[in-house]
Amino acid sequence: MTSGLAALSGAALGYLGASVGFQWNLFRRQEQDWHIWRNLLWAAFALHTLALLLVAFSLGHVPLNGMAESLGSLAWVVVGLYLILGRIWKMEVLGAVAAPAAFAMTAFSLLVLSTDPGLNPSKSFWFYLHVGSYMLGYGAFVLAAFCALLYFVQVRLLKAKKVWGMFRLMPSLDALDRAAYRLILAGFPLMLLGLTTGMVMSNWVFAFGDIKNQMVLVTVCVYLAYLHLRLVGGWQGRRVNLLLLVASACVLLSFLAPGRFHRF
């Protein structure tokens, strides 16, 4: 466990370093050094993977028990998705948001884990499938929210006609819009899988009185509305991205909301 936490600390430091680097690049308005911070992020990600494996071996279960473990895994998913998709979609600038978020999540996870190593781990396969698919889906949602966030920054710059400096480092509006859409398309089925496995665990009884469950239902509805407007309505641009940000806020609330039948 100690070596796992040490590796996690290393990963957190790496994320912090990359965050500072990305912000510095944005401030200096230069893109030549993106690769340095990306490589640092890769190194931190590798360390994070090692940390998760070490923690898993020492605890004897996948680190998805409790909020701290899940947040650590969520950070890992977000960084992994960024490193792969950011490269393919040529959106290195997303790292300026993804790296600080990953640092915050990892640091929180580290803080809690070092004081209170999760107790009574679940032995159920359904539990790990339930939380695992949620974390994968939420990882995609978090990155989609970052795309939407950058979309608004870019819209603001375009409307204010300040189309130099930082504007240059940003991807096109269309690229951000499509990236967010694809991430939601990938994340939504995973969320539904998480919901279904949750139902399996509770013998197909849905506790409507549970605040967490209520929030998850609201989140599903908002994402459904987003997908409907994009797929059927053919909407693009500011309004659907605003809806996406609302959905992301719902994800956050459903993550934090207390649940009677949930560990977190």
Partner 1 sequence: MTVVLLGLNHKTASIDLREKIAFDGERLQEALATLRAQPGVKECAILSTCNRTEVYTVGRGELSPLIEAPAQHLYRYEGKQAVEHLFSVSSGLDSMVLGENQILSQVRSAYESARQAASTGPTLDRLFPWAVRVGKRARSQTRICQGASSVSAAAVELAKKIFGDLSGRRLMLLGAGKMTELTLKLLGDAGVQQIAVANRTAARAEELARQCGGQAVSFDDLDRVLAEVDILIASTGAPHYVVTQERLSKVMRARRYRPLFLVDIAMPRDFDPACGELDNVYLYNIDDLQEVVGQNLSQRHREVQKVLEIVRSEAQGFLIDLDSRKASGAIRTLRESFEELRQQELARYLERCTPQEAERLEAFSRSLLNKLLHAPTMRLRQLSGAGVEPNQLKLTLEFLGLTREDLEDEAPS
What residues contact residue 55 under an 8 Å CB cut-off, 6+ apart?
1, 4, 5, 8, 63, 69, 72, 113
- Answer for which of 84, 158, 200, 231 binds partner 1 (CB under 8 A) is 158
Binding range to partner 1, per CB under 8 A, among 14-22, 48-56, 156-164, 201-209: 156-164
C-alpha pair distances (Å), 260 with each of 106, 207, 210, 213, 263: 26, 9, 6, 9, 8
Closer of 123 and 159 to partner 1 (Cβ)? 159
Cα 110–chain centre separation: 17
Closer of 89 and 264 to partner 1 (Cβ)? 89
Asked whether position 233 contacts partner 1 by CB under 8 A, the answer is yes
**Distance of alpha carbon 222 from alpha carbon 188, whole angstroms:** 11
H-helix or E-strand spanning residue 195: helix 173-201
CB 132 within 8 A of CB 161: no
Closer of 166 and 217 to partner 1 (Cβ)? 166
Total of residues contacting partner 1 (CB under 8 A): 23
In angstroms, what is the minimal distance from the CB of 221 to partner 1?
Answer: 21
- Answer for which of 84, 87, 156, 174 binds partner 1 (CB under 8 A) is 174
In angstroms, what is the minimal distance from the CB of 170 to partner 1?
Answer: 8
Closer of 123 and 161 to partner 1 (Cβ)? 161
Closer of 189 and 233 to partner 1 (Cβ)? 233
Binding range to partner 1, per CB under 8 A, among 56-64, 119-127, 173-181, 212-220: 173-181
- Answer for which of 67, 166, 169, 173 binds partner 1 (CB under 8 A) is 173
In angstroms, what is the minimal distance from the CB of 30 to partner 1?
Answer: 8
Asked whether position 161 contacts partner 1 by CB under 8 A, the answer is yes
Asked whether position 182 contacts partner 1 by CB under 8 A, the answer is no
Residue 262 phi/psi, 5° resolution? Answer: -120, 150
Closer of 163 and 221 to partner 1 (Cβ)? 163
Residue 205 phi/psi, 5° resolution? Answer: -110, 120
Give the DSSP letter string of 77-141. Answer: HHHHHIIIIIHHTT-GGGHHHHHHHHHHHHHHHHHHHHH----S----HHHHHHHHHHHHHHHHH
Give me the torsion for CA of 63, 255, 248, 111, rounded to 10°.
-60
Closer of 158 and 249 to partner 1 (Cβ)? 158
169 CB-side CA count, 13 A: 22
CB 69 within 8 A of CB 118: yes
**Distance of alpha carbon 260 from alpha carbon 264, whole angstroms:** 9
Residues 116-155, one symbol each (x = binds partner 1 by CB under 8 A, - = not), give --------------------------------------x-
Asked whether position 33 contacts partner 1 by CB under 8 A, the answer is no
The position carrying tokens 């796992």 is 4
Binding site for partner 1 (CB under 8 A): 30, 32, 154, 158-159, 161, 163-164, 167-168, 170-175, 233-239
